[in-house]
Structure 1
Amino acid sequence: MIPPGVLAAAEQRQARRLIELLDWLAMPSISADPRHQPDVRRAARWLASWQRARGATVDLRPTRLGRDVVVARWPAPTGARQVVIYGHYDVQPPGPGWSSHPFRPVIRDGLIHARGANDDKGQLFAHLCALDAWPGLLPVEVVVIAEGAEEVGSPGFAEVVRELRLRPAAVIVSDTERYDDRTPSVTISQRGQLTATLVVDTGGTAVHAGRLGGAVVDPSLVLADALRVLREQLFTVRPAAGTRTDDAVRRAARGRATVGTDLDSRITRNGSVGVTRLAAGSGRAALPSRAEATLDLRLPPRSAPAEVVRRARRLLDGRAPRGTRVELHFTRGIAAQESVPDEFTRKSVHQACVSAIGRPPVYVGSGGTVPAVGMLRRAFGINPLLLGFGPPGGNAHGPDETMDIAGWAAAVKVSAALLCALSGPIRADPVPVLRRKDHHGKHRLFRHGELPVHFEGEEQ
């Protein structure tokens, strides 16, 4: 059970903590933009100072790109279990389409609007507020590890966590979404990611679109054909049962047109080819000699990035018209993850959610990619618990990113309860079942010892 003083302290301090969160969100800690490196450092120092002022021992570990990993140790009684909480304080560039300034946080209708409110400052800060609300020593030793380069692939992070030489009983990552407005999620699979640039070069210079149009190769059309081939042939689509309904995915898309049915499977179990940037020509009546696209490829669970690279290049080999070069340059690859927590951790998070908010978490697959998950697994030898607190449709990476205050307050309670549950004995008694949908769309029940690694409908 959670000591009643913890929840009372969290509620009493909520208004002040929200003000502090808004201050942190106002720092444009954009790791992909070198011009914002001072802001990234400022966000790291803020996080370090906040924890140090509340009794944690904090040090900043530099990475090879100069973005510090903040490591804070919150004390506990001698012999207590060790728990790692991971998060990141860097954010994506804001992009267009915001209804308010992305780094001047506002609260409207119970929602915080700011870049990083959801991904990931808001979720990480919920854990910190739970730590701060605990009277005296925590029931477990907590090591908070927060990095400043997750949005650019976590370069250098693996070396830092290996050097820490920790032996945690559990690793908690909150950088995903809730299942619905009231229910946390535990993510047990994530897609991998490849980023690439596809270039078509016809040689020479731009030419008059009227005088030579139709007689010269248009690189944009060759590029479009190459993208079509990759989209249609790179990944084999496997029908599989999804956890979220099509309507739930459409709501998360915030009115944007969606494609087909079985949408949850499309974003969690199937691969996808996305175009995040296109460039060709100047818009004047001249055909350019070069066109290029920046690609975001999401890889299905259990797929190897190296094999996807080889297959993509084979598909495009020989497709270029004479005198034209089609080149595919890969810049980064992250393997897909399947991360089912151990039984003790699953029982603990079940107990924490039920005691804090009256309902257990739902186990889901995710289409996103958190590079640090694999790094943490390899460093500590256990599967991290991906416990999602972000609101469904919170628009991480998009305009008007949000965190709902009610959901954030519930996350503080769940985090406090989880610390308590993880400090308890490892029980052998059965706990209530986990819910997943079978390929007929009906709920099938799995007890903890039966939790499958593979989703229904996937080839074994």
Structure 2
Amino acid sequence: MTDSQHPTDVAALRAHVDDLFPALQADLVSLVRIPSVSAAAFDQSHVAASADAVAALLRDAGLPDVRVLRSQRPDGTPGAPAVVARRPVPEGAPTVLLYAHHDVQPPGEGWDTDPFEPVQVGERLFGRGAADDKAGIAAHLGALRTLAAAGGLPDVGVTVFVEGEEEAGSPSFHQFLTDHRDLLAADVIVVADSTNWKVGVPALTTSLRGLLDGVVEVEVLEHAVHSGMFGGPVLDANLQLARLLATLHDDAGNLAVDGLVHAPEPTVDYDEAAFRADASVLDGLALAGEGSIAGRLWTKPALAVIGIDATSVAHASNTIAPRAAAKLSLRLAPGQDPDAADAALGAHLAAHAPAGAKVTWTRWEKGKAFQAADDTAAMRAARSAFAAAWGTEPVDVGVGGSIPFIADLLEVFPDAAILVTGVEDPDSRAHGANESVHLGELRKVVLAEALLLAQVARGL
């Protein structure tokens, strides 16, 4: 396609998006129906089926080279299947890598509907993975179909990389990049796994917190004993664990672990009332911590207890619990080294271990934070595409969540410009019950990505 044929007419592209959207939504529904949970406790044949379904859609989108590939994890086991689909690079043209993932979180509890039977209510499509991140796959498909309908893809190489184990921590990701470096090399990388500011206002994610998680275990006895005959001199493990967990924050709710990095305060204001609504905070409850809402979410560390192993109320007996454990999830501020954070958290738990308990900290997963460059030509092109698609200027935001594999992308492809975008909004409830994608926003994301590909073809 020549320069004069590049599709830049926003109204015409929008019309193509509208025409193609019913079929795209149907494809998204089909993907969401596949329970592609990558957690080891779930049937991994569904993840394989999901990869095959994505590969078929990308072939139908006109990409001639489509492969389902795996690489080894650090423990030597095969990683989950990923899909790599490529369009040959026109001579001298740039290449854009479009990333998403087809695996999903476990369904969990509290759904109003079957999590793997998508349901549309108004403008929202509900289902596990509808937003995170099968909507990202739909966005890439939609952009490619839109440009094809507008006269063909512009002079840009396109590689679509759809991972299969992001929700399991991407254990084979770095090896996959190394094994398939030549297939994945790109000038611009678009990671469609983040969020927008709100419905109607797009965002470019410029920072992400890192991640450290693991399990702290408290032991007080070799085995359970009668709580009446032996209670008093020995406090049960459940209580001792609670006492230890209470030391992790001060009375104001600030994280009380010494040695953790705080990044500078963001310049974007996140209104407290909007946050309370977005996070569904119960009426009358005080918020934890000090400083701006945006700072507490994006540039300060945060720790949550995301699971506890203890005797359930239903199965309780009159015994002193010998052991209890909690899984801790520590989000790291940009600039924080995960190993240093691990050492700081381990030191805190050891220093505050109750005198009557044995405390063990076992780290599980770690991931680096992400801080985008101050400004790049690719970022300016993305903002321009967002503004045209939404009709309003985008917001540069930080995100409290983590995408640790971005550090791997930067390591293997240091010269690539990385853009972190997404389809989610504050009410998408990714990872939670009643996850959903706003279909009107998905239309705009498709249009914006088509515009971005055309812009990259013209030159940054």
Tell me the TM-score normalised to structure 2 length: 0.87
Deviation at 1:245, TM superposition (A): 1.7
**Is 1:102–1:113's contact at 8 Å kept on the other side of the alignment?**
yes
Residues 75, 358 of structure 1: alpha-carbon distance in 2 compared, 3 angstrom cutoff: farther
State the partner residue of 2:171.
155
**1:273 corresponds to which of 303, 308, 332:** 303
Task: Describe how 1:83-102 pairs up with structure 2 within 5 A.
Answer: 83-102=96-115
Gaps of 5+ in 1: 427-460
Residues 415, 286 of structure 1: alpha-carbon distance in 2 compared, 3 angstrom cutoff: same
Q: Distance in 2 between matches of 1:316 and 1:335?
A: 22
Q: Report the number of matched residues.
A: 426
SS of residue matched to 2:135: helix
Deviation at 1:203, TM superposition (A): 2.4
State the partner residue of 1:259.
287
Q: Deviations over 1:241-288 (max 9, x none)?
A: 452222222222124556246322111111111111112234222111
**2:219 corresponds to which of 201, 208, 212:** 201
State the partner residue of 2:142.
129
Q: Distance in 2 between matches of 1:222 and 1:89?
A: 41
**1:370 corresponds to which of 403, 408, 412:** 403
Residues 296, 173 of structure 1: alpha-carbon distance in 2 compared, 3 angstrom cutoff: same
**1:39 corresponds to which of 39, 46, 68:** 46
Residues 194, 169 of structure 1: alpha-carbon distance in 2 compared, 3 angstrom cutoff: same
SS of residue matched to 2:228: coil
Deviation at 1:316, TM superposition (A): 2.6
Q: Distance in 2 between matches of 1:336 and 1:350?
A: 22
State the partner residue of 2:3.
none
Residues 228, 237 of structure 1: alpha-carbon distance in 2 compared, 3 angstrom cutoff: farther
**Is 1:77–1:138's contact at 8 Å kept on the other side of the alignment?**
no
SS of residue matched to 1:134: helix
Structure 2 residue identity aligned to 1:346: M
1:120 paired with 2:137, answer: no
Percent of aligned pairs with the same residue?
31
State the partner residue of 1:454.
none
Task: Describe how 1:305-454 pairs up with structure 2 within 5 A.
Answer: 305-321=338-354, 324-340=357-373, 343-381=376-414, 382-426=416-460
State the partner residue of 1:20.
27
Deviation at 1:322, TM superposition (A): 5.3
- The range that moved more, 259-268 or 192-201, is 259-268
Gaps of 5+ in 2: 1-6, 73-77, 251-255
Q: Distance in 2 between matches of 1:275 and 1:96?
A: 18
Q: Distance in 1 between matches of 2:389 and 2:377?
A: 18
Q: Distance in 1 between matches of 2:387 and 2:343?
A: 47
**2:246 corresponds to which of 215, 222, 228:** 228
**Is 2:80–2:165's contact at 8 Å kept on the other side of the alignment?**
yes
Q: Distance in 2 between matches of 1:154 and 1:413?
A: 29
SS of residue matched to 1:365: strand
Q: Distance in 1 between matches of 2:405 and 2:263?
A: 27
Residues 54, 316 of structure 1: alpha-carbon distance in 2 compared, 3 angstrom cutoff: closer
Deviation at 1:323, TM superposition (A): 6.1
Deviation at 1:9, TM superposition (A): 2.6
**Is 1:113–1:402's contact at 8 Å kept on the other side of the alignment?**
yes
SS of residue matched to 2:342: helix
**Is 1:231–1:272's contact at 8 Å kept on the other side of the alignment?**
no
Structure 2 residue identity aligned to 1:276: I
SS of residue matched to 1:317: helix
1:67 paired with 2:85, answer: no
Deviation at 1:292, TM superposition (A): 0.5
SS of residue matched to 1:176: strand
SS of residue matched to 2:96: strand
**Is 2:240–2:357's contact at 8 Å kept on the other side of the alignment?**
no
- The range that moved more, 2-11 or 230-239, is 230-239
Q: Distance in 2 between matches of 1:322 and 1:346?
A: 53
Residues 95, 258 of structure 1: alpha-carbon distance in 2 compared, 3 angstrom cutoff: farther
Q: Distance in 1 between matches of 2:38 and 2:408?
A: 19
Structure 1 residue identity aligned to 2:69: R
Tell me the TM-score normalised to structure 1 length: 0.87
Residues 259, 383 of structure 1: alpha-carbon distance in 2 compared, 3 angstrom cutoff: farther
Q: Distance in 2 between matches of 1:238 and 1:121?
A: 32
Residues 320, 157 of structure 1: alpha-carbon distance in 2 compared, 3 angstrom cutoff: closer
State the partner residue of 1:105.
118
**Is 1:254–1:393's contact at 8 Å kept on the other side of the alignment?**
no
**Is 2:127–2:436's contact at 8 Å kept on the other side of the alignment?**
yes
SS of residue matched to 1:145: strand
- The range that moved more, 282-291 or 326-335, is 282-291
**Is 2:79–2:172's contact at 8 Å kept on the other side of the alignment?**
no
Q: Alpha carbon RMSD of aligned pairs, Å?
A: 2.0
Q: Distance in 2 between matches of 1:383 and 1:89?
A: 23
Q: Distance in 1 between matches of 2:297 and 2:245?
A: 19
State the partner residue of 1:304.
337
**Is 2:220–2:358's contact at 8 Å kept on the other side of the alignment?**
yes
State the partner residue of 1:2.
8
Q: Deviations over 1:198-237 (max 9, x none)?
A: 0011122212223322221221222122212233421476
Q: Distance in 1 between matches of 2:79 and 2:301?
A: 33
**Is 1:74–1:138's contact at 8 Å kept on the other side of the alignment?**
no
Residues 238, 171 of structure 1: alpha-carbon distance in 2 compared, 3 angstrom cutoff: closer
State the partner residue of 1:182.
200
Structure 1 residue identity aligned to 2:347: R
State the partner residue of 1:240.
265
Q: Deviations over 1:109-168 (max 9, x none)?
A: 110000111111112311211101213233311101110100111111112223322442
**Is 2:305–2:328's contact at 8 Å kept on the other side of the alignment?**
yes
State the partner residue of 1:250.
276
Q: Deviations over 1:160-215 (max 9, x none)?
A: 22332244221101111111211211111111111110001112221222332222
